[in-house]
Chain A
């Protein structure tokens, strides 16, 4: 956790007893020395964070530098429904609330560095915004669901309450620790392979970084399952139905041949405006944003704009491909994100839902998945254990009858009877 700079009383380390927190990230000042001494004695790790001066001072006091695995993500956000300065909800172009989430960032970091643990450093919003326990649980879920870890940081109200020993603050603290522990105990889920037949191919660098990052973000907001592919000639395209490649500049010849072959063999390739249109035959499709060409057995959709809108790319690839290939559909969840992953042999799947708003209290949710399963169970934050999920056959697949999902649900699906 991020140790508050004002917590100079070593007695406050007592709050960590029985929690999963085993390392303190400190923005060093000399007054923290007694805390650091006692923390070391208790076996806790100490890491220096902050600006260069603070990290340098911390190193001088014996604090470790952030490990290689620590991602000091400057673009990570406090998860939630985005708010304007006046507190009103911010809407996206479809008038749906805009969700701030780190899901795509974690997916990208994990795809690029699969063996590293990805930590996020983001902080709760400052006053006058009120940060509730539910906000903390959602922040932990929005990190944990995608296999990341948050350096838990407390807002001023909770810091003050805990320092005073306030009962409500202590209850919140226990619930926060429990949520962190929940995801710690499910690290195996982050090793599962993401589902989805849409691939985003990019080098995710330089001028491509922002645009492709936003495409990932908005694919997620549509709950269109995607997988991340490095723009490499050796990349495997097996199992994909659609690819997005909108990097600036031409792809390397080998990669280009591979992407072209993908379309010729029946796939959908969504490409940037510079892609050679001569390769395909016009389909006659009247579309405001892409030219759709027939290429062998498949199609290539070439952007008409030199800098296509990531929102529209996410939508257009979904609609050109079709919802037939959805890995899940969700009902009665109004503002939410999902992540579906499976074991390599496909015998177990996990569907995780992070919910940011619900329509009505007690509004039960349904998740539909195209497969057939022997059993399913749901994990929720704060619950003692998993709850069995009733399954109903629907439209050739399975509807999972879920209770209300105000914050988080993790559903395990088993193809064989256990």
Chain B
């Protein structure tokens, strides 16, 4: 029993890092720009597919393919920002929700038309042989992803904190008009941030696509769980999202281990709702303003 719990916890931590990676892109766009991008899941999906195309069709190696996928998807993200988000910024915010929802429908259907509805797998450079430490089984792929998640998070936090662009993004998030007055090109910064958020999502999609599979609807659940994580972690907090991801991974693992797999997805939503009931305005400043 103890061994099972221990293994589930370790496994949950690894899975949780994956969730955090998935949510990172959403956190950038939602938590910092406060734009509800319902197409975020599809950006994750496109990252997976672009990586698949790069590896299988273009013959590029796996790791360069991931980078390529991130760049390509960043481009898609900038286009979405320009076409579906920017023109609607002055309107009630649910317009952006609906427009990005429309984009997500189109991207999902488009992917289905281009690559077919069947899942594809990306050849993985990782060996499935487990690394055994005591009673714990690990895999090199999961460890790699955990490490990547940590690095990305640290790098991103540093970027926000110490670079000029990072500060510009934070200023933009705080008060768009004031940022404009300070000489920050708000439009370009927003596109840049959108692209960054898309690239992060794509990276997660490419990394995870190799671990699981890529299929057109793969972005639906990560979007919802990503929301849950961003809400729980505090809208603008990189560390908060990471920690929430870990907690979610462990909670899901324990649920699967001791209850039933079917209810695993409930964990994210029930936890999010529970957090919101206690803090109806979210865990940070953002929720308090009337949007």
Answer yes or no: do A and B interact.
no
Interface residues of B (CB under 8 A from A): none
Interface residues of A (CB under 8 A from B): none
